[in-house]
A and B are shown apart, each in its own frame.
Chain A
Amino acid sequence: MEQYIGKKVFNGVAIGPIKFYSKEQGQIVRKHVDDVNAELARYEEAKAKAVEQLGELYEKAVQEVGEVHAQIFEVHSMLLEDEDYNDSISNMITTQEINAEYAVAMTGDHFAEMFANMEDEYFQARSADIKDISDRVVSILTGKGNSDDLGEEPVIVVAEDLAPSETVKMDKTKLLAFVTKLGSTNSHTAILARTMGIPALIGIEIQKEWDGKFAIVDGKEGILYVDPDETTIMEYRKLKKEEEERNQLYQTLKGKETVTRSGQKVHLYANIGNATDLAMVLMNDAEGIGLFRSEFLYLESRDYPTEEEQFQVYKRVAETMAGKKVIIRTLDIGADKQVDYFDLDQEDNPALGLRAIRICLSRPEVFKTQLRALFRASAFGNIAIMYPMITSLEEVRQIKEISSTIKKELKEAGIPIGEVEEGIMIETPAAAIISDLLAKEVDFFSIGTNDLTQYTLAIDRQNSKLEPFYNAHHEALLRLIRMVAKNAQEAGIWTGICGELGADMELTETFVEMGIAELSVSPGYILPIRKIIRELK
């Protein structure tokens, strides 16, 4: 048995024989041509055929992976029509009097190399797209196709690299997993593998000799086993069976209500840190977004993000969620999240320092820009706003004064705004203890259990030496949560939990019993927790 470690693309286990996939293109030979115009016509004809094939692939991909991921083939058609690409090919054919295959291959290499040398990972990955379209035209010109046929048995495809078009062309019922040497986790092929739910590994030194050998792909741990022994096979067969049963069960829970047997409804929302996480939110059937961490806008920027930049992002999220609730937390930097251009002082004790709402209230211009963007975006969906790190009634009153000024300004300027719920995070013991007073001022509470735990137990989660003293289910913490939920209920507002504890399945029942109305968790936990809640009495 041999083991190889690769980069993980998609979780899951695959067991089966290896099929070594190679592009049977052979060497492209440079040849002299006498009739340059005939060669140009040959190229045009091959290009037209390639565009036609891409149209068919697009249709196939729409069926299998959906419109968004199929768009890559539309882009491929556009690349084939690019002026610089075509000029380069026709120039080479005309001035050097050479065959179209060679001109296409050389041009393809040239542009692929240009992308490969770019700084940004996204643009580097486009190198594979240029190669893919050039290979397609060359295949048509030479009349040699790739070996797309995977055979009768389902196989683990092992290849040097896979182009998106190759991935889509393969028969999914015969495809167990991908293992490639090249490619990035950001490539279209990787994205397609994730969307189709196919286990995949990249960055493995593949060997041609593996063809036909038995193997196991462990997409979760990133391990490829070639010629596994009987015990390993048995172990993975069991894992795979469990995984399949679990997935099937979870799939049946999509579109179902999150409600206990006695009829108590819980809103199951997702936590996200970036607009790119939206796909995961929708795929896991979240009922809304319970924590949208707006600080990525500040962390990924070199200067304060403008109102317009923020508005566009919030608007897109609100529109994508199509009327489902999107709770956006205002700027939460400081402590472990530092941004250079804020020019904050070094602090001895950053967790207890100038962070989150404290920054916002000391720099109202930064806060106002964000609030204006949020209220403007609220006209495009169901946005709620929550304010982090609250410790006092005065802070909440100050925030409300600023927010009502902004709403007034926008209304006077004739800018439409939606109905916006405004709530606060309960993540300091102070806020939990005065939650009866705070409840009268806001529309909802969301308990941030990570900070609430750290402040209540006086334990720094980053310090591994404190592990023996740490108890995630400490009675003090649970009492605080219960108290917050009770005070909220008495004031007629709802309480959610958006910290890590919200996804702690040992506590789901306790939270439901406390009357927690919303749990916001990482997208992958939505369906497992829905299962638990639906089984509660």
Chain B
Amino acid sequence: MVAFHYTITDEVGIHARPAGILVQEAKKHPATITLKTAKGSADARKLLAIMSLGVKQGDEVTVEVSGENEEATAQVIEEFFKTNL
């Protein structure tokens, strides 16, 4: 398993639109991608589950990637967070 931490800078947090793009991105990878916050965890393939975490600006998210190609996948997802969130 590979993990990274990220603090959200987007002013509305993980809102619907980037969450939707994240889901599309996650679906391209065979590895399991999980978002963990102080409130709980969600599978990155599930839009409603991600939104239900209610991640706001300044919240820290831990992203865990495990399975096939996990190193490379984690890098792609980390890049996604930096660009969009």
Contact = CB atoms under 8 A, between A and B. Distances in A.
Interface string B1-17: 00000010101110111
Interface centre among A71, A83, A85, A119, by most chain B C-beta atoms within 10 angstroms, is A83
B9 A111 contact: no
Given A83-B45, A274-B11, A126 B57 contact: no
Contacts of B12: 122
21 contacts: A71-B17, A74-B17, A75-B20, A78-B20, A79-B47, A79-B48, A81-B47, A82-B23, A82-B47, A83-B46, A84-B48, A118-B52, A120-B56, A122-B12, A123-B51, A123-B54, A275-B11, A308-B9, A309-B7, A309-B9, A313-B9
Contact of B54 (A75, A81, A118, A308): A118
Interface of A: 71-72, 74-75, 78-79, 81-85, 111, 114-115, 118-120, 122-123, 126, 129-130, 274-276, 300-303, 306, 308-309, 312-313
Nearest to A124: B54
Interface residues of B, number: 24
B57 A300 contact: yes
Main secondary structure of the interface of B (DSSP, over half): mixed
Nearest to B6: A308
A82 B48 contact: yes
Interface centre among A72, A120, A302, by most chain B C-beta atoms within 10 angstroms, is A120
A341 to B, nearest CB: 12
A112 to B, nearest CB: 11
Contacts of A123: 51, 54
A126 B50 CA distance: 13
Interface of B: 7, 9, 11-13, 15-17, 20, 23-24, 43, 45-49, 51-52, 54, 56-58, 82
B83 to A, nearest CB: 9
Contacts of A85: 48
Contact of B23 (A78, A114, A275): A78
A302 B58 CA distance: 8
B47 to A, nearest CB: 5
A122 B15 contact: yes
A302 B12 CA distance: 15
Nearest to B24: A78
A306 B13 contact: no
**Pairs A-B, 10 closest by C-beta atoms:** A78-B20, A75-B16, A312-B9, A309-B9, A82-B47, A82-B48, A118-B54, A123-B54, A122-B12, A84-B48
A126 B48 CA distance: 10
A122 B13 contact: yes
Contacts of A83: 43, 45-46
A114 B56 CA distance: 17
Contact of A276 (B11, B23, B52): B11
A61 to B, nearest CB: 14
A126 B51 contact: yes
A89 to B, nearest CB: 12
Contact of B16 (A129, A302, A303): A129
A111 B48 contact: yes
A313 B13 CA distance: 13
Given A302-B58, A303-B58, 16 more contacts: A71-B17, A75-B17, A78-B23, A78-B24, A78-B47, A81-B47, A82-B23, A82-B47, A84-B46, A84-B49, A120-B54, A122-B12, A130-B48, A301-B58, A309-B7, A313-B9
Nearest to A74: B20
Nearest to A301: B58
B51 A115 contact: yes
Contacts of A114: 52
A489 B48 CA distance: 59
Contacts of A309: 7, 9
Contacts of B23: 78, 82
A85 B9 CA distance: 28
Contacts of B48: 79, 82, 84-85, 111, 130
A343 to B, nearest CB: 18
B19 to A, nearest CB: 8
A120 B14 CA distance: 12
Contacts of A126: 16, 51
Contacts of B49: 84
Contacts of B45: 83
A240 to B, nearest CB: 35
Contacts of A130: 48
A72 B20 CA distance: 11
A312 B49 CA distance: 26
B59 to A, nearest CB: 10
Contact of B46 (A75, A82, A119, A306): A82
Nearest to B47: A82
Contacts of B15: 122
Nearest to A114: B52
B52 to A, nearest CB: 6
